[in-house]
Amino acid sequence: MEYFDRIIVGGGAAGFFTAINIAENNRSLKVLILERGKDVLNKVRISGGGRCNVTHAEFTPAELVRKYPRGSKELRGPFHKFMTGETIGWFEQRGVSLKTEEDGRMFPVTDSSETIIECFRKQCAKLNIEVRTGETLKRFYSEENQWKIETSGAAYNCEKLMLATGSNSKIWNLLENSGHSIVDAVPSLFTFNSKDDRIKDLPGIALDAELEIPEARLSSDGPLLITHWGFSGPAILKLSAWGARALHELQYKFSVKVNWIPGENELSIIETLKDLKQEHSRQQVYKRSQFDLPKRLWHSLVLASGISQDSKWADLNKQQLSKLGGQLTAAVFQVNGKSTFKEEFVTAGGIDLKEIDFKTFESKIHPNLYFAGEILNIDAITGGFNFQNAWTGGFLAAQAMS
């Protein structure tokens, strides 16, 4: 059995960040990372389309926590100690500059996730952190104030242990057997499948919209993208993250109400349509798009309201005006199933947050056992927030572990 002072299981974002910070805090500690795969940091490599969306330019803890459907209450304290500004500074001090995109997402200026991986590798080499791949954690237990660890090929012991194994159900099962509670995992970031004549010819159209899922009492707003299979875009991903559990219970069959003209409602828009009828009485309704809507979308909504292509504004009766008002501000689409968002599998679920001390990210059940990253029941909407959770947890756990 080989001894290390600190062992981190999981060579992902949270595992590396923890190991490096431990070794920097206390150079005399022998630190080991154990990774089951052939290579480490695989998710970092593919993250953000190969660019790694490291964090998000949100600098107020109270605002940042609002991006976490699970974990918002618990992360408030930790974010007061380590959040976006600290993340930017941490990488800057180690030679990695980040830049901010228009929507707030932050990436390395190189636009390459390899820059982050290279930074971690360099720090590990400098700090003599050992990284062993092809080692799958099979069993762990505490004996005489030490953690004993059995992997697929070896046995280790250590004083303090971190599990940063992401969403691995086998580790959750081991933890459940050791007395921890696990919240069942369900997908969190996904897009909506909807086969509907109104959108079948509109893939690629993107616009701001207000959305509502009445069955789950959820609403959101922001950019909406029409795809070949239904709906995507930030407004949908927000609904999928906040509604992860409720939509799972509905077996991903529900209706989504779309208001294509944010800030307006059915009554106000009908009044505007009546004005248009007066002003443009001789014009064809179909021909000229109103409310800055993309032309193809306007065409589709006009036809869906029972208005023919050659109808003039003057021809519209009360019922047609009201139908068009409905299509513009409260168009209901049936969703039947979901699709993965750009291969970005993020799950809701994991170790019950009641069992974690959020000052140190230590287990309240087993002393000297720590967790960070996706293994916890914490997840965020898309935009760099999932990594920020890994950095914050890793940093605070490292302080306690060193």
Instruction: Work out the angle at residue 373's Cα, subtended by the Cα atoms of residues 369 and 378, and round it to the nearest 5 degrees.
Output: 105
- Of the candidate spans 90-98, 256-264, 329-337, 372-380, the one that interacts with ligand FAD by CB under 6 A turns out to be 372-380
Q: What are the residues whose beta carbons fall under 8 Å from the beta carbon of 63, sequence distance 6 or more? A: none
Binding range to ligand FAD, per CB under 6 A, among 91-99, 248-256, 274-282, 385-393: 385-393
Stretch that binds ligand FAD, among 250-258, 325-333, 354-362, 383-391 (CB under 6 A): 383-391
Which CB sits closer to ligand FAD, 165 or 305?
165
Residues 47-66: x where in contact with ligand FAD by CB under 6 A, - otherwise, as a string: xx---xx-------------
Residue 382 dihedral angles phi and psi, to the nearest 5°: -75, 150
Comparing CB distances to ligand FAD, the nearer of 171 and 396 is 171
Residue 69 contacts ligand FAD per CB under 6 A: no
Element (H, E) at 318: helix 318-329
Asked if 348 interacts with ligand FAD (CB under 6 A), we say no
Q: Which residues fall within 8 angstroms of residue 80, CB to CB, at 6 or more apart?
A: 61
DSSP H helices in 144-265: 169-177, 234-242, 244-249
For the bound state, the minimum distance from the C-beta of residue 376 to ligand FAD, rounded and expressed in Å, comes to: 8
C-beta of 27 vs 170, nearer to ligand FAD: 170
Instruction: Decide: is 261 part of the binding site for ligand FAD (CB under 6 A).
Output: no
- The residue within the footprint of ligand FAD, chosen from 137, 175, 239, 324 (CB under 6 A), is 137
Task: List C-alpha distances in Å: 227 to 79, 205, 206, 233, 390.
Answer: 36, 8, 9, 9, 31
**Shortest distance (Å) from residue 90 CB to ligand FAD:** 15
- Binding-residue pattern over the window 173 to 202 for ligand FAD, x denoting contact by CB under 6 A: ------------------------------
* Ordered alpha helix ranges (H), 159-290: 169-177, 234-242, 244-249, 266-279
Q: Please tell me whether residue 108 binds ligand FAD under the rule CB under 6 A.
A: no
Short-list 103, 47, 101, CA closest to 234? 103
Site for ligand FAD in 156-175 (CB under 6 A): 164-166, 168, 171
Greatest extent of the chain over all pairs of C-alpha atoms, in Å: 89
List, in sequence order, every beta strand (DSSP E) within 111-263.
Answer: 130-132, 137-143, 146-151, 155-163, 182-187, 190-193, 206-213, 218-226, 230-232, 253-259
Among 7, 20, 31, 34, binds ligand FAD (CB under 6 A): 34
What is the nearest approach in angstroms of ligand FAD to the Cβ of residue 299? 36
- Pairwise CA distance, residues 110 & 178, whole Å: 43
Q: What is the number of other CB atoms lying within 10 angstroms of the CB of residue 127?
A: 16
Which residues are registered as beta bridge partners of 213? 218
Size of the site for ligand FAD (CB under 6 A): 37
Q: Which residues pair with 146 in a beta bridge?
A: 143
Is 238 a residue that touches ligand FAD (CB under 6 A)?
no
Q: How many helices (H) and strands (E) does the chain have?
A: 13, 21
CB atoms within 10 A of CB 66: 14
How far apart (Å, rounded) are the C-alpha atoms in residues 75 and 21?
A: 19
Q: Toward ligand FAD, which CB reaches closer, 37 or 326?
A: 37
Q: Does residue 373 belong to the site contacting ligand FAD (CB under 6 A)?
A: yes
Q: Which of 6, 10, 78, 368 forms a contact with ligand FAD (CB under 6 A)?
A: 10
Which of the 8 DSSP states describes residue 373? G
CA–CA separation, 215 vs 64, rounded Å? 27
In eight-state DSSP terms, residue 168 is -
Nearer to ligand FAD, 355 or 379 (CB): 379
Q: Does 213 bind ligand FAD (CB under 6 A)?
A: no
Closer residue to ligand FAD (CB): 118 or 196: 118
- Beta carbon of residue 16, minimum distance to ligand FAD (angstroms, whole number): 8
Stretch that binds ligand FAD, among 82-90, 286-294, 329-337, 342-350 (CB under 6 A): 342-350
Between residues 105 and 299, which has the closer beta carbon with respect to ligand FAD?
105
The only residue of 43, 67, 70, 338 in contact with ligand FAD, by rule CB under 6 A: 43
Closest CB to ligand FAD among 325 and 350?
A: 350
Which stretches of the chain bind ligand FAD, using CB under 6 A? 9-15, 34-37, 42-43, 46-48, 52-53, 136-137, 164-166, 168, 171, 343-346, 373-375, 384-387, 390
